[in-house]
Each structure stands twice: as C-alpha cells, then as structure tokens.
Amino acid sequence: MQLIDGLAISKIIKEELKVEVQKRTSQGFKRPHLAAVLVGSNGASVTYVNAKVKACEEVGFDSTLVQLSEDATETEIIEAINGLNNNSNIDGYIVQLPLPKHINEKKVLQTIDASKDVDGFHPTCLGKMMLGLPTFLPATPMGIITLLERSNIETKGKHAVVIGRSHIVGLPVSVLLQRNHPFGNCTVTLCHSHTKNLEEICMQADIIVAAVGIPEFVKGSMVKNGAVVIDVGITRVQDDSKKSGFRLLGDVEFATASEKASFITPVPGGVGPMTIVSLMQNTLLAAEGKLAN
Amino acid sequence: MQLIDGLAISKIIKEELKVEVQKRTSQGFKRPHLAAVLVGSNGASVTYVNAKVKACEEVGFDSTLVQLSEDATETEIIEAINGLNNNSNIDGYIVQLPLPKHINEKKVLQTIDASKDVDGFHPTCLGKMMLGLPTFLPATPMGIITLLERSNIETKGKHAVVIGRSHIVGLPVSVLLQRNHPFGNCTVTLCHSHTKNLEEICMQADIIVAAVGIPEFVKGSMVKNGAVVIDVGITRVQDDSKKSGFRLLGDVEFATASEKASFITPVPGGVGPMTIVSLMQNTLLAAEGKLAN
C-alpha cells in the first residue's frame, strides 16, 4: 500500500505556482488576486477561508477577504458579489459555503461572474466541463484528478466507483473521470443513497472515490485488492483525548481499507490540501486570461 | 416483453401540446414559434428538419426554416443565429447538426442564446441540468426519461448502464438518470470505447441505454432477464430488398434482446419520435417564459 500524500503534492504544486508568479511579475504582470466572501463566523468556514488566504501568501498571490455578518441579507451578499464582478483588480473569487440558512445559496452562486468563478460551481463552468471546453474545473474534483496524475495512476479503462452525488464533488468528479483525457477514460459508476448492493459494486472498483459525508462508511470489506481509494470525507468527531476535543475522520475506514488498497489518501492530508491548490491553479488561469468564458 | 411504443407516446404528447396551444391562443397569447437553421442539404438533416417543421404544424406552433448553403461561412451562420437571438418573435430554435466540416461546431453552438436553446446543448443549460436548476433538457435524453415515465417504469435504486458518452445523449442521460427525481435516482454506470468487460457490466443492468452508434452492438447475451432496453441508435444500412435501398438498425440486436427484456424500444418508432416531442415541449416552455435563463 502506498499513501497518496496530498499535503506533499500540494506543496510541490505551490512551489510551481510560486515560480510561475515570479516569472509573471518579473515580466511586468500584476500578481494574481483571489478574493473570498465569508458570511458569518462558522468555525469550519473561518478555518477554510484562512487557509485559502495563507495559501495565497505562500504562492505570492494577492488576496482580499470580504466579511459579512451572519445576519447579512441576500441583497447585501449579492451587492458584495457584484462589487467583485466589477472589480478588474480581482481575478477570481470564492463565496465560502455553507451560507446562513436564510440565504438562497443557488441564487447567490448564480450571480457570480462565470469568468471569475474559480471554485468552478457556476452552471456555465459545469456545462463547459461536460462538453470538454476550457473552463475552471470545480476545485475538489480537479484536486482528485491531480492526485491521480501526480501519483502516475493509470485510469484508462479502469472502473471508477464514485460514492455520493453532490454537486460539488460526486457528480462532477464522475464527469471528469469518464471524459477523454490522459487521466480520465474510466468506466464510471455513480452511487448514492438509493444504490442497492453498494458493497458488490464497490468490490468491482479499480478506483473508489468516497464522497458521502459519513465517517468510515467504506470498510475494507468493500475494497478490492489493489484498488485505489480516494477519501473526500472529512468529519469532526468528538474525541476527549485530543486537546482540540475532536479528531477528523474520512469516509473510509482507513485501518481496514489500507490493507487492501494499492494507493490510498489519508484524512487529513489527502484530498483536503488539493482543493486549495486547485483554487490557486484556477486563479492563476483567471489571471492569465486564457479561458474565454 | 412489452414494446415501448415511442411513436404512440409521442402522438399522445403532441395531442396534449395541441390542447395547451389552443388554451394559450384562446387566452390571447401568440403561438409558440420554433425556428430551425439548416446548413447544406445533407439527406438525413433535411429529413430531420422537415419532421420538426411538420411536428410544429401538428401541435399548432409557428415555424421558420432558415436555410444556408453548404458553403456558408462561419460568420454567415453566426449572423443568422444572432438574428434569431434578437428576434423576439422566435421563442426557441435549433441548429441542425452536423454542420459542414469547415465550421467550428462548438463555437457556433455557443453563440446560441441559452434562453432560446431548445435543443438544450448550451453549456449553461447542461450546467443547470447538473445542478438540478430549471432549464431546457437536451432533447434526446429528455425523451428517454419521458419514455420511462409514460411507461410507468420504476427507476429508483435501479442500476442503469449507459453505453456511449456523447455530449448529446450518453453523458447527459447518465446525469438525468442519477438525479433526485421521480424518474431518476438510478445507480448509473457510464460505459464507452475504453470500457473493459462491457458484457459483464451490462448483465448487471436493470436499465440499458444503448447510444453507441454501432448497429446491433448490444446482443441478447448482454441483457439480463427482465431488463429495460432503450435503443438510441439509428443507422442506415444498405438493403437492396427495400424500395428505399436501406433499412434502419438500432444499437440493439432486437431479435435476441427482446427475448430477455421486460420493456424494449423498437427502431424506428422508439426514441426517435421522442426527440422531436421534447423539442416541442422545450419550445412551449420557452414561449411560456417559465425558465429564467
């Protein structure tokens, strides 16, 4: 079993991005500039946004944090977004999810200018992805493909089983894995809460992507010998033995699955760091203006 | 084995549309208006466009045919499209594919205003479909779902195997079959030219959608007893015994597959008529202005 060290891979890519930024600034171009909209002060959201700001510093991007209070109205959030749409100094931005319950998340996300949507959630980005047109790919699915690529894992003709059909991970990664691409061309099965005989389907998988949001859902008994296991889940579970009071669990029972897998991502330090790196890669693409959105 | 009679189902839906149009005109609304852009005089294309014009007459829609010569330039085609985008009298339109080889099809299709793209091929339409937002669904995939619905075929938790990953059928129908919808919620496996052990995968299917474009590709030996078989293929094969000189074959070997299937679509008269009906349904939606594209 070989660990897919997302943290190490993300560091290598950040170094590559840093070099690219230095090259651009030395040529007289401005630094790529990422903004983040944070509504409220949800603990996990603050952590994620801070990590994104820190990643910008590491690679030499400018960053701007737009903070709104928990009770911000939909209109106020949309005004902030329009401000970013019209600010030519901002190359790309993200709206940290989840938004407070009183906000129509779909409506807000659709006001993001697709040419600045470096999270790749905009309908136009997803549609272009389906059609194989150049676009920002959604960050976590893109990070998963990058992990496969950087680990030199052959995907062509492999059977990939994706568990979970969320709009931000499961469904788009199933599209990416099937497309005609050096790290695509998989036969893809998309499973979800209505799937029967999930264990039997998983046992056929050469590649399992677990994105279901239930800690330790995928057991070793569901993993074929030699399969590649990508664990997208990350759930805080109470653990009084830890100073923080919690520990992080993935969607895969690591102890048993790692005995069967040829490659496996740990949690934390697997897919997580790649999401941020994909965001940085998309922001550089936005700054380069190479995508005619 | 029960035949899914797409021709009969399409006639019922056309009658429903006719009633709806009569209701709208009696309320003072104008008739829905579909336009078609035809470039050149490819035999199959002319047949398809004529069938669409005829369907408009049947349901009481207005129709406009925009004909361009085989050697029309990309600019001329885009000008024609812009004319339709700006013509408020046209509710929706289609650009008949394939376009001549010297034309960049992807570029042309992207100039279609998404709010008039009743074929549902526009990136924004496909992205909205992925996100479960109201939009025009691509016509053939939508017709397949309608066939399942009108035949009262339970889909929830069923394993659907889609063969073929084209942008106009295979990939979008795989998205529609998995979504949380009364005629969705399937576990979906998307297969294509790189798929290994296709026969083994097909034998697990409760629903097979064959959209591969190879006549009689799916044999009875690949069909599980009781499976539902949807045949999207339609290929002209030389047949000197026919007056026309050809006959139409689907992607399924009907004689052997129909012995195993619980439901099966014939070719012709299965999926084909549904594509046109979906187009009519989308045009009515466009005329009603219910989709905020």
Q: Between A96 and B293, where is the model more confident? A: A96
Distances in Å between the Cα of A104 and the Cα atoms of A78, A110, A118 are: 11, 10, 20
In a domain, residue B11? The reply is no
Q: Are residues A60 and A179 in the same domain?
A: no
For residue A293, pLDDT beyond 50: no
For residue A109, pLDDT beyond 60: yes
Domains in chain A: how many in total?
2
Contact indicator for B68, B37 with CB cutoff of 8 Å: yes
Of B132, B133, B189, the CB nearest to A188: B189
Q: To the nearest whole number, what is the mean pLDDT of chain B?
A: 96
Residues of B in contact with A167 (CB under 8 A): 130-132
Mean pLDDT over A237-255 rounds to: 95
C-alpha–C-alpha distance, residues B106 and A61, integer Å: 33
CATH number of the domain to which A146 belongs: 3.40.50.720
Q: Are residues B164 and B257 in the same domain?
A: yes
Residue with tokens 């594509």: B275
Nearest residue in chain A measured CA to CA from B177: A190
Q: Note if A178 is an active site residue.
A: no
Residues of A in contact with B195 (CB under 8 A): 157, 187
Query: pTM score, two decimals?
Result: 0.96
Give the Cβ contact number of residue A293 at 10 Å: 18
Residue A85 is predicted with a pLDDT of 98
Q: Are residues B33 and B152 in the same domain?
A: no
* From B91, B117, B119, B231, active-site residue: B119
In a domain, residue B159? The reply is yes
Residue A209 is predicted with a pLDDT of 98
Tell me phi and psi for residue B286, to 5 degrees. -60, -45
Q: Which of A29-38, A100-109, B82-91, B155-164 has the lowest mean pLDDT?
A: A100-109
Q: Considering chain A, what percentage of its residues have pLDDT values greater than 70?
A: 99
Q: Are residues B48 and B104 in the same domain?
A: yes
CATH number of the domain to which A37 belongs: 3.40.50.10860
Residues of A in contact with B194 (CB under 8 A): 156-157, 185-187
Mean pLDDT over B52-65 rounds to: 97
Residue A292 is predicted with a pLDDT of 57
Residue B44 is predicted with a pLDDT of 84
Residue B52: pLDDT band (50, 70, 90) is very high
Of A122, A130, A171, the CB nearest to B126: A130
Q: Considering chain A, what percentage of its residues have pLDDT values greater than 90?
A: 95
φ/ψ region of A276 (left if φ > 0, alpha if ψ in -120 to 50, else beta) reads alpha
For residue B202, pLDDT beyond 70: yes
Q: Considering chain B, what percentage of its residues have pLDDT values greater than 90?
A: 95
In the chain, the amino acid numbered A249 is L
C-alpha–C-alpha distance, residues A85 and A71, integer Å: 23
Q: Are residues B183 and B100 in the same domain?
A: no
Mean pLDDT over B209-225 rounds to: 98
Mean pLDDT over A213-241 rounds to: 96
Q: What is the pLDDT of residues B143-176, one digit of tens each?
A: 999 999 999 999 999 999 999 999 999 999 999 9
| ipTM (interface predicted TM) | 0.95
Q: Are residues A172 and A243 in the same domain?
A: yes
Q: Where are the alpha helices (DSSP H) in chain B?
A: 6-26, 43-59, 74-85, 105-110, 123-131, 139-150, 170-178, 198-202, 254-257, 271-288
Question: Any idea what DSSP says for residue B127?
Answer: H
C-alpha–C-alpha distance, residues A172 and A166, integer Å: 8
Domain of residue B191: give its range.
139-272
For residue B293, pLDDT beyond 80: no
Nearest residue in chain B measured CA to CA from A163: B187
Q: Are residues B59 and B181 in the same domain?
A: no
Q: Note if B23 is an active site residue.
A: no
Q: Note if A119 is an active site residue.
A: yes
For residue A290, pLDDT beyond 90: no
Q: What is the pLDDT of residues A154-168, one digit of tens each?
A: 999 999 999 999 999
Residue B87: pLDDT band (50, 70, 90) is very high
Among A171, A146, A174, CA closest to A159: A174
Residue-by-residue DSSP string for A151-173: TT---TT-EEEEE---TTTHHHH
In a domain, residue B223? The reply is yes
